Structure 1
Amino acid sequence: MVKYSSELKAEVVSEYLQGDISISLLSKKRNLPRIQVGRWIQNFRLSGADALKRRRVKRSFSVEFKVDVINYYQTHDETLAEVSAKFDVNSCQISLWRTAFNQYGIEALKPHPKGRKTKVKHNKKKLRKLVNKNEIDQLREELTKKNQELYDAKLENEILKKSMTLFGTPKDERKHK
């Protein structure tokens, strides 16, 4: 896609508005696509000189704004170009929003994460599962862990007691008494 400077766009539009030259002759004279010249002229008529300037910053729109634009387009008797000029959005973008909204509902207008999903380590998966569980399940899980620890400690204590009775106390302890 070729990007044209705003000065070139302004020159072409002013030349069209000043003279008795048609869009097709102007496009041949400047060696530009006829459709592109027509768009520049239409955008200038709808929005003024600001429509010819290039944006340097990527814009993001809220879901409410997108829904408002779609509702306005569907309820008013205006063309897509007029609505796009009024809301300062590309007409193709409005068309995409409308199609997505009609097919998938409001969920399609919400922003989605971009890029590749990250690879999650095993420990992080366990943490996410714990966060997702409700509080009661977490408490039950903690209680079962503590009960298991207590049971293990009791078994260890019993084993030590039995070993003491079987093997007796060490000889070093008998001398100190």
Structure 2
Amino acid sequence: MAKYSEQFKLKLVKEYQEGKLGYNLLAKKYGLKDSTPILRWVKVYEKFGVEGLKRKRHKETYSVQFKLDVLSFMKRTGSSETETAHKFGLTNAPMIASWKKAFREGGTEALGRPKGRPPMSEKAKNSKNKQTEKKEMTYEQKLERENELLRLEVEYLKKLRAFQMDPEGYLEKHKQRYHSNSKKPSN
């Protein structure tokens, strides 16, 4: 996926807002494959201003619970990814699609996996060798893992039920926690 500068995005948003060209014509004029990014930039600009168009210097990480709540809200309300992103204060709506795919393919556990490939240091190489030697988990370890997954599932279902009973109250109650959990402090 191509990365576009903040100035380029802002230029296209402003040009769209002037009303002379629509999304498709702007995409064609500037050589974009389709108009979806322009539509997303306009929506993000309208919701968050210029800040929404900026590329993030640091990757924000979101808790598994937050991702589950976002997906649950989207499924329950039938909202689009863009509408859901705006509801939860996210500027990158396509990220929700990747969460949805990960959840569909690997369940709750897949939402907690870090993205990307970790660097391969000497320590990592050594631990990788040890892991291949100790690949088999003991019966006790398997049971502990299963218990933990079941605990997570029960906790998720409790929160889902609370959310379904009073969505606005639930979101308001947990809003501050999600925003504080989702942003890494920048040093």
Residues 120-164 of structure 1, C-alpha deviation per residue, up to 9 Å, x if partnerless?
39xx97xxx9xx8xxxxxxxxxxxxxxxxxxxxxxxxxxxxxxxx
Residues 69-123 of structure 1, C-alpha deviation per residue, up to 9 Å, x if partnerless?
11211222421111123331533322232333344432222235954652239xx
Secondary structure at the aligned position of 2:2 is classed as: coil
How far apart, CA to CA, are the structure 1 residues paired with 2:25 and 2:114? 45
TM normalised by structure 1 equals 0.56
Contact 1:46 1:82 in 2 (8 A): no
The number of aligned residues is 127
Per the alignment, residue 151 of structure 1 pairs with none
From 106, 109, 114, the counterpart of 1:107: 109
How far apart, CA to CA, are the structure 2 residues paired with 1:54 and 1:119? 38
How far apart, CA to CA, are the structure 2 residues paired with 1:10 and 1:44? 8
Contact 2:64 2:111 in 1 (8 A): yes
Name stretches of at least 5 consecutive residues in structure 1 with no aligned partner. 133-177
Per the alignment, residue 138 of structure 1 pairs with none
Q: Does 1:118 align with 2:119?
A: no
How far apart, CA to CA, are the structure 2 residues paired with 1:45 and 1:106? 33
Secondary structure at the aligned position of 1:28 is classed as: helix
Contact 2:44 2:91 in 1 (8 A): no
Per the alignment, residue 171 of structure 1 pairs with none
Q: Does 1:90 align with 2:92?
A: yes
How far apart, CA to CA, are the structure 1 residues paired with 2:79 and 2:47? 12
CA separation of 1:53/1:110 partners in 2, compared to 1, >3 Å: closer, same or farther?
A: same
Per the alignment, residue 46 of structure 2 pairs with 45
Letter in 1 for 2:26: L
Secondary structure at the aligned position of 2:128 is classed as: coil
Stretches (4+) displaced over 4 A? 112-117
TM normalised by structure 2 equals 0.54
Percent identity for Structure 1 against Structure 2: 33
Name stretches of at least 5 consecutive residues in structure 2 with no aligned partner. 121-126, 142-187
